[in-house]
Structure 1
């Protein structure tokens, strides 16, 4: 029943039947009041999890009862301590919503995936936006990168883009994932965030500074999720009906415009409304101001890939827009809030391994490692049957495979079908696609990208953004050990002598405030 209900609800989003309350003020704060207003009285008889009705006296008191025989107490008390899932190691806190993706421009000559097959086609989507480092109870306005994940519920299965709000990523070598996460999280001895660890990683892996130039600039704190761009990070390998390959980088541009907060605004909101971005997203949808993003791609041919002066599959680099401009593909709209956050957002499971015919994914080593890491994380958090949780189910196609048993949910557990393959008894069989190409095989080397970081600093950041970058970097570096400051200044100087000089001057300054305003040298 839950699966059928969700399918109806998600398809309603696609056809435009989503209902909107158009509630003025703060709908998030009034949610429970609105529930009372739209129900005439108690919605039903209180029952145990096994379906037995609770008698009035048992429901209101346990003081005079034999506690072991007080089933309502036993049922609720033993459930309470099991109500939490293991927290995500990164991206623990998030806002999310549901909606649809609509094709506006034809790219079927590049990619045979059915979600792109015709102009006007709509596909249900689920989106989740998340700071990287903060814990689940943390603030929405940290100076941090943000996850930007979109799940497309296509008729060929789920396709996930697990992206970021920056067009580049931190590192190229997946071996660094554990090191990066540990260095950004809490010191195991003090249980405090430690800027010595933070800057040690950045200065030992200077390719990471490209991304952190943006994070320390005015673009480091998005003004809510509705004004935040998204990027697929990887260069995706796709193919058409003839087996011809192309290479795409996905961009999501907010139709309401990109807006960010400065450090002071971020600190104020951290104190006044730590859930600012989550609240803003919920309220906008509840009021009918549906957030939307234009989906576009940069397109490379195999010949383009071969002649590039750098590795176009290096996630710490960007593909230059002046040489490979954006081509619009569609638009995705969020028009439905979750009804139950835990069921629909906390259990929402993304994986780069969720691909569909026509999309082979990124051929780079980081993408390859993420295919394992995300699946393993969901197994740990949600169990082996996490794709049978309603919000993760492929809504538009029946799933037939040879997976069986395990922790609930099981659904029908594939009924009485054969449970091994190959078999001679009419079990499901693979489909044949003689045009499907093999993944491009790469040999990747160490990432070196000071050139792109320099281009970002000189030609893409405004003077105000350069000032903020220096101010925010100095404020953070001041709390790190002296040798880390020296190492950081060295790398910043290699990016650009002006940047290194400004940061060195700021570190030597006796000023204690965290705002620095510099003139161009």
Structure 2
């Protein structure tokens, strides 16, 4: 059986792929060697800019199956009947480190899910924590700068990390999550995922509800201590990638059960917490979890670069029946995520296979043309404007979700305060839920980082946050920090 012929990118057969063309034996190389120049030029351009955050990631394909009726809350077609299945792609990631970073580190984990629905792709971009460090997107660049490698030292600096948190008391809740037992998942399979933000569902009658998504792992929660993580990183820096790849290859398909919390839109204004504040949760006793369906991952990507690194998720990819809320952080991400992908991948990144709306009959239908790496000509003579008289795609006139009521004057406003809206109450509640062993590990983790800070005033500001969350919490952290600094 003859082998297929190796060709250049233009399709010409390659005579020799082992030796460069030269001016005589041992002479200088020739500029006319198309295979050499093409290979080196392509090699220089093989990698795109890595993500500023969530650079280190893993992903897999699977499906989502509806198990419970939620049609009273949303008319989204992929949730329309029990038993309905939708293909999905899920990308996990760490947040702060670069593409070459290790997996088993103390860091939030991204949980970005793409549903390939018949009404378009629905992207749900979240984390493995139900809350976040900040509540306004204008602070996001500063927050990330403080957490990533310092531009002078080239490494993450405790002074930067804790100085930002000292000036962001709203971060106390998420810091308590991050420094607790779930701060280092044992694997991507053994952690929960959350939509984190508040979203809007709209039913067929036009009634609006606000929702929060909870993906509960069916493998059980498993986490690592700092010592266990350090040992694992030394053995396999790619431990989470290895685990996910091998589990699926063995036929051990990880799964999560999706639950939602549902709040009638009319209840939002008077709820004791601001329901659109990303630093807050909705206690389950107020809005119990309601089961929706089951997420299963059962297929590894064929090419990690093409499918995992070029996967582009944006929370503004909604489908009919689902829309945004006034969540400030969500509102900022509606722009920032898509814009990041236009920079990294180009304006036509939605035409890449992993990002294309593969379940939509006929694919995407719009008037976007040309630009870098345009792949779809959309037909000879087709018009590139709308409306037109040539049977081009037209608007439906049907909004995807219910309108949001607004009032007042434009300006730079702080978020409206609800009755329980301080920065520390929920952090204290989380601390008080912990066992004595969990509290001890939390205090040790916080003290280990905070004790490395060089400025006493920054330490004192952070200690004040923990004292405000719970007096015992603050006292124990303060004593642990003092002991480490006296050593």
TM-score (norm 2): 0.93
- Deviation string 1:351-371 (CA, Å, 9 cap, x unpaired) is 001000100123222111101
Distance 1:440 1:332, change over 3 A: farther
Deviation of residue 432 (structure 1)?
Answer: 2.5
* Alignment equivalent of 2:110, drawn from 126, 131, 147: 147
Following TM superposition, where does structure 1 have runs of at least 4 consecutive aligned residues deviating by more than 4 angstroms? 510-513
Q: 2:10 and 2:154 mapped to 1: Cα distance? A: 41
> 1:229 — aligned with what?
192
Does 1:61 pair with 2:19? yes
- Deviation string 1:326-365 (CA, Å, 9 cap, x unpaired) is 1000001000000011111100000001000100123222
> 1:105 — aligned with what?
68
* Alignment equivalent of 2:451, drawn from 463, 467, 478: 478
> 1:401 — aligned with what?
366
Does 1:129 pair with 2:92? yes
Q: 2:302 and 2:401 mapped to 1: Cα distance? A: 40
- Aligned partner of residue 430 in structure 1, secondary structure: coil
Q: 1:246 and 1:43 mapped to 2: Cα distance? A: 60
> 2:425 — aligned with what?
451
- Which runs of 5 or more structure 2 residues have no equivalent in the other structure? 24-28, 408-412
Q: 2:167 and 2:203 mapped to 1: Cα distance? A: 42
Deviation of residue 286 (structure 1)?
Answer: 0.3
Distance 1:511 1:384, change over 3 A: closer
Question: Which 10-residue stretch deviates more, 274-283 or 415-424?
Answer: 415-424
The alignment of Structure 1 onto Structure 2 pairs a total of residues equal to 470
Does 1:44 pair with 2:4? yes
> 2:410 — aligned with what?
none
- Deviation string 1:53-88 (CA, Å, 9 cap, x unpaired) is 111xx2111164552122211110111111110110
Deviation of residue 415 (structure 1)?
Answer: 4.5
Distance 1:190 1:323, change over 3 A: same
Contact 1:67 1:74 in 2 (8 A): no
- Deviation string 1:370-399 (CA, Å, 9 cap, x unpaired) is 011011100000000010011100011121
Distance 1:273 1:512, change over 3 A: farther
Distance 1:59 1:469, change over 3 A: same
Q: Give the 5 Å matches for 1:456-467.
A: 456-459=430-433, 461-467=434-440
Q: 2:405 and 2:30 mapped to 1: Cα distance? A: 64
Question: Which 10-residue stretch deviates more, 360-369 or 95-104?
Answer: 360-369
Question: Which 10-residue stretch deviates more, 86-95 or 46-55?
Answer: 46-55
Does 1:427 pair with 2:392? yes
Q: 2:213 and 2:52 mapped to 1: Cα distance? A: 25
- Deviation string 1:185-208 (CA, Å, 9 cap, x unpaired) is 111122221111100111100111
Does 1:196 pair with 2:167? no
Does 1:295 pair with 2:258? yes
Distance 1:45 1:170, change over 3 A: same
Q: 1:129 and 1:494 mapped to 2: Cα distance? A: 34
Q: 2:375 and 2:34 mapped to 1: Cα distance? A: 27
Contact 1:363 1:440 in 2 (8 A): no
Deviation of residue 411 (structure 1)?
Answer: 2.2
Distance 1:42 1:88, change over 3 A: farther
Does 1:273 pair with 2:231? no
Q: Give the 5 Å matches for 1:27-38.
A: none
Deviation of residue 423 (structure 1)?
Answer: 2.3
> 1:187 — aligned with what?
150
Deviation of residue 303 (structure 1)?
Answer: 3.2
* Alignment equivalent of 1:416, drawn from 369, 372, 381: 381
Question: Which 10-residue stretch deviates more, 230-239 or 418-427?
Answer: 418-427
Q: 2:33 and 2:188 mapped to 1: Cα distance? A: 46
Distance 1:355 1:452, change over 3 A: same
Q: 1:141 and 1:43 mapped to 2: Cα distance? A: 43
Deviation of residue 221 (structure 1)?
Answer: 0.1
Does 1:363 pair with 2:363? no
Q: 1:296 and 1:88 mapped to 2: Cα distance? A: 29
- Aligned partner of residue 31 in structure 2, secondary structure: helix
- Deviation string 1:232-276 (CA, Å, 9 cap, x unpaired) is 011111101111111110000011111111111110111111100
Deviation of residue 433 (structure 1)?
Answer: 2.3
- Which runs of 5 or more structure 1 residues have no equivalent in the other structure? 1-40, 514-521
Contact 1:98 1:334 in 2 (8 A): yes
Contact 1:213 1:453 in 2 (8 A): yes
Question: Which 10-residue stretch deviates more, 294-303 or 283-292?
Answer: 294-303
Deviation of residue 489 (structure 1)?
Answer: 1.0
Contact 2:116 2:122 in 1 (8 A): yes
Q: 1:507 and 1:210 mapped to 2: Cα distance? A: 19
